[in-house]
Amino acid sequence: MSSVGAAFRLVRAGWVLVREGVVAAIPGDQLSGMPKFGWRMARLFTRRRALREGRSDRMAHAVARLGPSYVKLGQFLATRPDVVGNDIALDLALLQDKMRTFPQSAAITAIEASLGRRVSDLYVRLEEPVAAASIAQVHEAEVAYDGVPTKVAVKVIRPGVRKRFHHDLESYFLAARLQEKYIPSSRRLRPVEVTETLAQTTKIEMDLRLEGAALSELGENTKADPGFRVPAVDWERTGRDVLTMEWVDGIKMNDIAGLAEAGHDLKAIAANLIQSFLRHTLRDGFFHADMHPGNLFVEADGTIVAVDLGIAGRLGKKERRFLAEILYGFITRNYLRVAEVHFEAGYVPHKHDVAAFAQAIRAIGEPIHGQPAETISMAKLLTLLFEVTELFDMQTRPELVLLQKTMVVVEGVARTLDPAFNMWKTAEPVVGDWIRSNLGPRGMLDDAREGVGALVSLARQAPDLAARAERLSREIDLMAEHGLRFDDATAKAIGKAEARHTRSGRVALWVIALTLIFIAWKLI
């Protein structure tokens, strides 16, 4: 029955997307055959109001009708422009994660169940919610630390949200499997794998202890950084369903007029924001991946405070070196070095020619150097770079795509603060310092030290590795002599699983078909 339920939810979602004009907003002139016929039919069933709205407004209305799971789906897909395209990703990034609040009594029940203590023992007072999103809502509260009343923010998971996400994820997986099966051209985008990533991301985001850990890690990384910090976490009052942290008194970064009225230097804030982001990315390999202006506050002294760390990105040392060298290569116009870095990192297959790849990169870099510095977008450069690398068989790398998306958002925020913002001049000190520290003599010494450590670790594992190799050799000899065999139980289990999968797929397809026929009949 889960397949039938998933099919009904999928049909309902499709119908809402049609009625709210999301499907009609797709560039239908670029389609042909049955997809174009379907697009034309979708336009017939679109609400007249929706036809007068922009695509981002249509998506906002559709998501509001579909509920919190689809808000999170939209925000997740905004991090994957490789899947939905850059234009749609930007529209999805504008989705407002603002939902209705749930009752104070439900929040108290969730807090007490998660922490095992009465709310009156945890907080001096707990106010009504001040903001609500798809997964949780935030309350203002007060805690007595050593007898001193201190204002805190309490984030509480929305009741029933895990169950709702679980049910909706079934329909997402059904859609992904049908897409892979019947639309061969979409297989390179790996829709099932993308859905699995969404499922894992939402599981992490729904455990507020993990968000607390991310805040703690970023706080430790940035404790000596000028002009940037994150709220401190109260671990005594934090559990799976509740996160208590420092209350932030500041002006939201989307309130440009308020920042100017308070006397802040907007150009300095823009530079600080970009340099902080690059510092986190290159130095620490751990960055806030949802840095839209609603999640950024500016305190009275100009310090930027980032909140809501439900989505974070990580880059390994190889990815950090890749990012730093390509940015520095574009700054210095060393296109051959940019190309070599792609090959050294293993991102571009060695069957391609380095010089030809460098030529393609030069086609991106040279037009940029002919423009005024304030018009050059680093985010656009990364987008163009990834488009070129597709021609040279570079596989999609989710961590780099997330970085690109975050760069687009952060750079956009900086330009709202300072329309003449010079991205390259601002980035050069951070990128150049990382290059000198990690690729100069000191960096070589660190690499050598890590290499020695890896050799020592390998030597310690040598006896175990030798034993495993011997067992594997015996298994291969037996397989070569007798062939690969399954016992009766394994063979029966495989047969049952395949039959069940086939039946559920057929049931789902029939439900979708019958529901669509019923909807069309009712409308006619």
31-76 pLDDT per residue, tens: 667 767 777 777 777 877 766 777 667 777 777 777 777 777 777 6
Instruction: Please give the average per-residue pLDDT across 20-40, as a whole number.
Output: 71
Are 475 and 484 within 8 A, CB to CB? no
Round the average pLDDT of the chain to a whole number and report it.
Answer: 79
**The pLDDT value given to residue 411:** 85
What is the CB-side half-sphere exposure of residue 520 using CA atoms within 13 A? 10
Mean pLDDT calculated for residue range 392-419: 80
Most confident residue range from 225-234, 307-316, 491-500: 225-234
Angle at 469 between CA 466 and CA 475, to 5 degrees: 145
Q: Are 86 and 383 in contact (CB under 8 A)?
A: yes
pLDDT band at 519 (very low <50, low <70, confident <90, very high): very low
Whether residue 391 contacts residue 411, with contact meaning beta carbons closer than 8 Å, is answered with no
> With pLDDT > 70 as the criterion, what percentage of the chain qualifies?
73
Residues 6+ apart with CB under 8 A from 394: 342, 347, 348, 386
- Residue 423 · residue 411 · CB < 8 Å: yes
Residue partners of 284: CB distance under 8 A and separation at least 6: 221
Residue 366 has, within 13 A of its CA and on its CB side, a CA count of: 7
Confidence grade of residue 505 (pLDDT, cut at 50, 70, 90): low
Buried b (16+ CB within 10 A) or exposed e, 246-272: bbbebbbbebeeebeeeebebeebbbb
Q: Are strands 228-229 and 304-306 parallel, antiparallel or unpaired?
A: parallel
pLDDT at 448 exceeding the cut of 80: no
**Tell me, what DSSP letter sits at residue 394?**
P
Read off the pLDDT of residues 143-166 as tens digits, 9 standing for 90 and up.
Answer: 998 889 999 999 999 998 888 888
Confidence of residue 521 (pLDDT cuts 50, 70, 90): very low
Q: Does the annotation mark 290 as catalytic? A: yes
Closest CA to 412 of 274, 223, 237, 265: 274
Residues in the chain: 524
pTM above 0.75, yes or no: no
Q: Sorting pLDDT into bands at 50, 70 and 90, what band is 1?
A: very low
pLDDT at 281: 92
Count of CB atoms situated within 10 Å of the CB of 60: 20
Place of tokens 């000190």: 429
pLDDT: is 256 or 198 the higher one?
256
Write down the catalytic residue from 290, 464, 487, 488: 290
Q: How far apart are CA 216 and CA 206, in angstroms?
A: 17
Give the pLDDT of residue 12. Answer: 78
Residue 444: the pLDDT is 47
For residue 399, the model assigns a pLDDT of 72
User: How confident is the model at residue 465, as a pLDDT?
Assistant: 64
What pLDDT, in 10s, does the model give residues 293-331?
A: 888 999 999 999 999 888 888 888 888 888 888 778 887
Q: What is the pLDDT of residue 460?
A: 63
Given a cut of 60, whether residue 467 has pLDDT beyond it is yes
**pLDDT at residue 363 above 90?**
no
CA dist., res. 131 & res. 136, Å (int): 9
Give the model's pLDDT for residue 489.
Answer: 62
Mean pLDDT score, 455-465? 63
Asked whether the CA dihedral 30, 196, 406, 399 is positive or negative, the reply is negative
Q: How many CB atoms lie within 10 A of CB 277?
A: 26
pLDDT at 520: 45
pLDDT digits (tens, 9 = 90+) for 246-295: 999 999 998 999 999 999 999 999 999 999 999 999 999 999 988 888 88
pLDDT of the residue at 385: 74
Task: Find the mean pLDDT for residues 430-439.
Answer: 82
| Contact predicate 253/298, CB 8 Å | yes
For residue 57, give Cα distances in angstroms to 68, 94, 171, 292.
Answer: 17, 9, 24, 18
Question: Cα-Cα-Cα-Cα dihedral of 47, 53, 58, 60, to 10°?
Answer: -130
Q: How many CA atoms lie within 13 A of 203 on its CB side?
A: 8
Q: Which amino acid is at 446?
A: D
Residue 421 has a pLDDT of 85
pLDDT confidence tier of residue 332, bands split at 50, 70 and 90: confident
Collapsing DSSP to helix, strand or coil, 398 comes out as helix
